[in-house]
A and B are shown apart, each in its own frame.
Chain A
Amino acid sequence: MIQTKNLYKTFRDRKKGELHALQDVSLTVSAGRFVLLTGPSGSGKTTLLSLLGAMTRPTRGSITFQGRNLAECSDVELARLRRDVGFVFQNFSLVPRLAVWENITYPLIPRGIPVAARFETARRLLRRLNLEDRIESRPEQLSGGEQQRVAVARALAAEPQLILADEPTSNLDLRAAGELTELFEEIHGSGVTMVISTHSAAMLDLATDVYTLTEGKLSCG
């Protein structure tokens, strides 16, 4: 489904000089897998997920998604590819003043889906996530766990085949983290490929593949 070859990402900082976030990372994620990325903070997990999600370009190497090398795609092509990937951010990244259903369906707007259909999509997803009664709420009216479930609903709105999640449970309490883990299991069960970076041991049981990043270098297991 998605493959990286000899991937490098280097950040340049005026004070610190060059920072090698990823070095020679080669990874293959087949369809239907549940891939966990682990590793200490600052090891490059977020950077790798950003690259897999077409949010930034590699310094060197290739990323192949749906048969296309992301490193060679234009900005417009990258934006279109992002529509086929669901991304769950560590800090939820919901738009504060938008209602829950609007947050979930905002990614559908550039596809020209009318408002009634978008609302129905949001209702369906929220019902699945047991949040239907919060459909008109604002993000600040929700708990952390609820906000993260809304973020997952947004990732699912466009019915992607690949979901990337960047430490989705790190800002949640144990109970909320457990609920989210169950949710990911359910989503994966419906045939969606998952790539999740996490420190959570609970997710290890779900994973089909586990990779560890250490100082930008990827290793299996």
Chain B
Amino acid sequence: MRRCVEVAKTGLTAILLHPVRSGATCCALLAILVPYLVGMGVAKGIEHDAARSLEAGGDLYVSGSRLGQRIPLPVEMGPRLEVLEGVQTAMPRIVGRLSLGRDKVEVIVVGIPAEDFPAKVTCVEGRLPRNGALNEFVVGTELARRLNLQVGAMLPPFYRNPRGEHVSRIVGIFASDVSLWQSHLMFGTFDTAAEIFAAEGMATDFVVTCQPGYEVAVSRAIQNMNVEAAPGTGGNVRFRVTSREQLAVLLAGGQLHREGIFNLHFVLVFVIGILVVQVTSGLGLAERRREIGILKATGWQTDEILFRGLIECILLSVGSAALSILVAFVWLRWFNGYLIAGVFISGLARAPSIPVPFQLTPVPAFLAVTLGLVITLTGSLWSSWRAAIVPPGEAMR
């Protein structure tokens, strides 16, 4: 045991003996592992945000479609949904996109009855919009920062309807544990959203909450509802019901697709990484061979030399992986997932202006250590082995 410990200690010495080689290997591993960890961190962060968003929503989302196109549904449909067995509430909602400010910052406007504002939205300044008061909004903290908005700020007319142009007012700034909400969402009352999008009496969809265990029955009942349930839509309407679980699957599927593409690219990088480490392990190879020859000439066995090489690889990969995790955290936290976040969040610039959600979980960190180990072992143990199996005199030549 003591013999193993003493030989293992020389693995660390070997790293310090060849600083150029160790540094080059470490840099190669960082170049491979950091983007991987950043990508996985963003992917997990988005997953986390998506899960939070779903928690805040309803059990079912009811929308209408005609000829495959999504169409708004009349608000009158709400009471007809609420009388279905198992339905607790059916909240109409208007969701639309807007561009605000000189920089055309894309904003999602969500209009819901004031009494139905999600519990996850809490004002850090000001208050929530009130029913009956038109053109009042609360914006996320990050959106407020980007648009330089404070409570009481007036938004110049950004929409026009038959009644002319309107000024809107920021009455509150909200914080949420879903960072994409903070950076993209603007909440107003249902009436305000209807006014902005000139969709009076209509809703883009209904958020339905059900009594536990009734989700499937309610979903079936809605799909079988008569067209007359949606008056004013011109007939030929189909009701589309998406459950929370289906939405979770859809979101996860989209995310997995992006993760898959990212991982596929990563496999290529991984292969290149092995080649790079093989090249870097060739740095000072002659000196290394000679050193192994000296060790063998002075009584070291091949297995002891290989064990020393293995420890060297393990220390290099664990050290590089730990450093990669640190650099990835800096990249995510202070550089906001620069370059890589755009792979996972569509429409995002190279330097995202929103705080990119991220989570560094143990699984990618463990994978980074494993990948690092595989790369260094594949790349450098081969050269050690080749030097270790020849007679000492030959290795020293």
Contact = CB atoms under 8 A, between A and B. Distances in A.
Q: Does chain A bind chain B? A: yes
Interface of A: 50, 53, 55-57, 75-76, 79-80, 82-83, 87, 89, 93-98, 102, 106-107, 109-115, 154, 158
B17 A95 contact: yes
Interface stretch (B3-11, B66-74, B331-339): B3-11
B302 interface: yes
A76 B301 contact: yes
A174 B357 CA distance: 74
A110 B297 contact: no
Given A95-B17, A95-B291, A97-B17, A87 B297 contact: yes
B396 interface: yes
B296 interface: yes
B287 interface: yes
A80 B299 contact: yes
Interface of B: 1-3, 5-7, 9-10, 13, 16-18, 287, 290-291, 293-304, 391-394, 396
25 contacts: A55-B392, A56-B391, A56-B394, A76-B302, A76-B303, A79-B296, A82-B296, A82-B297, A83-B298, A95-B17, A95-B291, A97-B16, A98-B17, A106-B10, A106-B295, A106-B298, A107-B298, A107-B299, A109-B6, A110-B6, A110-B301, A110-B304, A112-B6, A115-B9, A158-B299
A143 B275 CA distance: 40
Contacts, number: 82
| Main SS at interface, chain B | helix
Contacts of B303: 76
Nearest to A51: B393
Contacts of B301: 75-76, 79-80, 110
A110 B302 contact: no
A56 B392 CA distance: 8
Which of B293, B298, B303 has most A Cβ within 10 Å? B298
A59 to B, nearest CB: 13
B181 to A, nearest CB: 56
Contacts of A97: 16-18
